[in-house]
Amino acid sequence: MQNRTYTADAEPGDTVTVAGWVHEVRDLGGIAFLILRDKSGKIQIKFEKDEMDEELVETGLGVHRESVISVSGDVKEEPRAPTDVEVVPDSIDVLAEADTELPLDPSGKVDAELSTRLDNRTLDLRKEEVKAVFEIRAEVLRSVREAFRDLGSTEINTPKIVATGTEGGTELFPITYFGEEAFMNQSPQLFKQLMIGSGLERVFEIGPIFRAEEHNTPRHLNEATSIDFESAFFDHTEAMDACEHVVKAAYEGVAENCRKELEALGLEDEFEVPEGEFPRLTYEEAIERINATGELDEQLVWGDDLPTEGERALGDDVGEHYFITDWPSEIKPFYIKDHDDDEQLSTGFDMMHPRMELVSGGQREHRYDHLVEGFEQQGLDPEAFDYYTKMFRYGMPPHAGWGLGGERLVMTMLGLENIREAVLFPRDRQRLSP
Ligand code: ATP
Ligand code: AMO
């Protein structure tokens, strides 16, 4: 639409055409107001019935809520108007009339269940606080990309249809690929590692991962956005430094560029960029601290995975982002390298928000013989991974990296109750469309 002005840019003295949704019509008798909403905000359109063309008044006041209109007219200063300006219309075009019955009330006066909201995302995002989540999500991805660029890494895109899984065989979605069995990729793990031996050396990818998680929880999706990093000549501690840099950059970007969105979410006072180094606890310290909280019925012992209640108890205890390092080798995947002086101890790490795990990573096993042995120990057929392992015979540098769950980052940053609130069209056990 030529010459369209955003409502937020309409200044007294201007003659403008504004366009957007009919937020509200208030008819007070001789005077009536229509509130027009667009991406930038809202503006009042004033109708003085006795002084205006009858047809213009009828069009303006007869249009249903949430219809799309454009209005041309003069902008006037008006202290009683919600934004201190109003438009006195010369003409109104109804571009798309909305039904009178809406499945969801975009003014938010009537609460809707999450499932109704997800079924009607278009209307749901007309609410300022919902739109704000996705503006912030976009800012997080923008800041993260910039942070990766600071780190000198190159963005890559790897296939999502693959021949093998990497993160444990049970969580794969099988598909048929021209008559052959294939899978939706669970992680770009092997592909990002393959790029370590290439001339790119340091890479990142932001893309979907697919996991056939059977359970329905507030923090699992069947399609999630993974923010992956991998660097040649990094050990696990350098990978943790990079992780901290990227996560802080996401918070900084939001603090700097999303004031309005944080206000819409009521977070303008609460929102804090994490400061200082994230504490690094060993797995052994972590289980001791969890046991000391007394929150678990059974004490954890070396080799146990951390149960959700354990993670939460530790999160409450630590009270900020933190790393758990030096996990038992037996509970970390085959591609994670063990410490040189202790085979039972891996270089794997997790980065935690007090509410949940955000990141897994580690230094990788880059020695061909050890890697193939690891496959066998995990009951995987090294032959099936030949496309991956063979590159470790042609000059694969030591390397380390990690994967960060994009939705979990946004969810924990904004204190969202359910991970689905951080995804436009979530995929879960019940939801395949829209
Ligand atoms: P008229 O203005 O044609 O005499 P009226 O008696 O219905 O018709 P007012 O008494 O001027 O209108 O106003 C009705 C209400 O609307 C009052 O509460 C007034 O403060 C408010 N109001 C009037 N003009 C504006 C405006 N431009 N923006 C916001 N509120 C306004
Ligand atoms: P992991 O399996 O721990 O590690 O995944 C990394 C991070 O991705 C997020 N995540 C999920 N988010 C929502 N729903 C899910 N179903 C889901 N699964 C994972 C989490 C998690 O911490 N290849 C390794 C990473 C690496 O070592 O580089 C991996 O995939 O935030």
Instruction: Write the pLDDT tens digit of every residue in 80-95.
Output: 999 999 999 999 999 9
Query: In the chain, how many domains are there?
Result: 2
The SS3 of residue 293 is: helix
Q: Facing residues of 223 across strands?
A: 210
Compute the distance between CA of residue 187 and CA of residue 194 in angstroms, rounded to an integer: 13
Let me know: does 39 contact 6? Beta carbons within 8 Å. Answer: yes
89 and 132 co-located in one domain: no
Residues 199 and 76 in one domain: no
Q: Identify whether residues 177 and 237 lie together within a single domain.
A: yes
Task: Identify the pLDDT of residue 168.
Answer: 66
Is the C-alpha dihedral spanning 98, 101, 103, 108 positive or negative?
Answer: positive
Q: Whose CA is closest to atom 19 on ligand 2?
A: 405
197 and 65 in a single domain? The answer is no
**How confident is the model over 187-239, as pLDDT tens digits?**
999 999 999 999 999 999 999 999 998 889 999 999 999 999 999 999 999 99
Q: Is the pLDDT of residue 419 over 90?
A: yes
Q: H/E element holding 345? A: strand 342-346
Q: Which helix (H) or strand (E) holds 75?
A: strand 68-77
137 lies in the same domain as 84 = no
Which residue's alpha carbon is nearest to atom 3 within ligand 2?
Answer: 360
Termini Cα distance of the chain:
29
Mean pLDDT in the chain?
Answer: 96
Whether residue 364 is found in the same domain as residue 258: yes
CATH number at residue 136: 3.30.930.10
Across the range 305-324, mean pLDDT stands at 97
CA of 430 to the centre of ligand 2 (A): 21
Instruction: Determine, yes or no, domain membership for 397.
Output: yes
170 has a pLDDT exceeding 70? no
Distance, CA 27 to ligand 2 centroid (Å)? 53
> Is 291 a domain residue?
no
In a domain, 305, yes or no: no
Q: Are residues 52 and 187 in the same domain?
A: no
Tokens of 159: 């296939």
In a domain, 154, yes or no: yes
This complex has an ipTM of 0.87
Query: Could you tell me if 337 and 371 lie in one domain?
Result: yes
CA of residue 31 to ligand 1 center, whole Å: 6
- The CB of 73 under 6 Å from ligand 2? The reply is no
Same domain, 139 and 84: no
Residue 263 burial (10 A CB sphere; 0-12, 13-18, 19+)? middle
Residue 171 has pLDDT above 90, yes or no: no
140 and 84 in a common domain: no
Q: Please tell me the number of the ligand nearest to residue 35's CA.
A: 1
User: Exposed, middle or buried: residue 364 (CB in 10 Å: 0-12, 13-18, 19+)?
Assistant: buried
User: Same domain for 58 and 169?
Assistant: no
Residue ranges for the known binding site are 167, 211-213, 219-221, 357, 360, 364, 405-408
User: Between 167 and 52, whose confidence is greater?
Assistant: 52
Catalytic residues: 211, 213, 219-220, 357, 360, 408
Residues 157 and 71 in one domain: no
Q: In whole angstroms, give the CA distance from residue 198 to residue 191.
A: 11
Between strands 280-282 and 322-325, the pairing is parallel
Give the global pTM. 0.94
* Structural domain range at position 68: 14-96
